[in-house]
Amino acid sequence: MTQVSISEGARLADVSRSTLNRHIKEGKISRHRNGSGKPYVETSELIRFYGELSQPDRTESDSIGQRRTTMDGQLLSDVERELIKVQAAFDAEKVRREVEQERRELAEAETAKWQKQAERLTMLLTDQREHSDQQKRGLWARLFG
């Protein structure tokens, strides 16, 4: 996942920084903090909420110092966009599976609770006393026997 600062995220989403901060405060977008405590947002979150992001206007250099051509830059931008979309879809699926797992665990716990309750009620409704020979004999046999 690509992490960007709040300012960079607002620029990529083409919204004001205050709008992005408001959406973060409302819980519509999640904000994280890096190791040094600086806030950041993930581009997958921005794509999820705002849709397609605008691309930076800067030109990047490759490892040998040559500038990429517009065609290569556009191709790379398209690939980066697709990668971000796939990452966002992956993250959404991961969250969906975690939620599904939590629901399954809650349902299993609830089922176990009700099964235990049913066992207790069954114990209450059935005679759990041990039957001795005295109870099997008649009244006269027990009194004079």
For residues 70 and 90, the model is more confident at: 90
pLDDT over 80 at 107, yes or no? yes
Q: 123-144: buried (b, 16+ CB within 10 Å) or exposed (e) per residue? A: eeeeeeeeeeeeeeeeeeeeee
Residue 98 pLDDT grade (very low, low, confident, very high; cuts 50, 70, 90): very high
pLDDT over 80 at 100, yes or no? yes
- Report residue 67 as tokens: 């500038």
Q: Name residue, tokens 């009620």.
A: 121
Q: What pLDDT, on the 0 to 100 scale, is given for residue 113?
A: 96
For residues 58 and 23, the model is more confident at: 23
- Report residue 83 as tokens: 């990668």
Phi-psi category of residue 42: left, alpha or beta, with phi > 0 → left and psi -120 to 50 → alpha? beta
Select from 88, 93, 2 the least CA-distant residue to 52: 88
Residue 58 pLDDT grade (very low, low, confident, very high; cuts 50, 70, 90): very low
- Give Cα 119 distance to the centre of its chain: 35
DSSP 14: T
DSSP, collapsed to helix, strand or coil, labels residue 4 as strand
- pTM (predicted TM-score): 0.40
Q: What pLDDT, on the 0 to 100 scale, is given for residue 62?
A: 43
Euclidean distance between CA atoms 6 and 12, whole angstroms: 10
Q: Are strands 32-33 and 3-4 parallel, antiparallel or unpaired?
A: unpaired
Q: What pLDDT, on the 0 to 100 scale, is given for residue 69?
A: 47
| pLDDT average, residue stretch 92-104 | 93
Residue 144 pLDDT grade (very low, low, confident, very high; cuts 50, 70, 90): confident
pLDDT over 60 at 133, yes or no? no
| pLDDT average, residue stretch 2-19 | 88
Residue 1 pLDDT grade (very low, low, confident, very high; cuts 50, 70, 90): low
Domain ranges of the chain: 3-58+70-124
DSSP per position, 19-77: HHHHHHHTTSS--EE-TTS-EEEEHHHHHHHH-SPPPP-PPPB-TTSPBPPHHHHHHHH
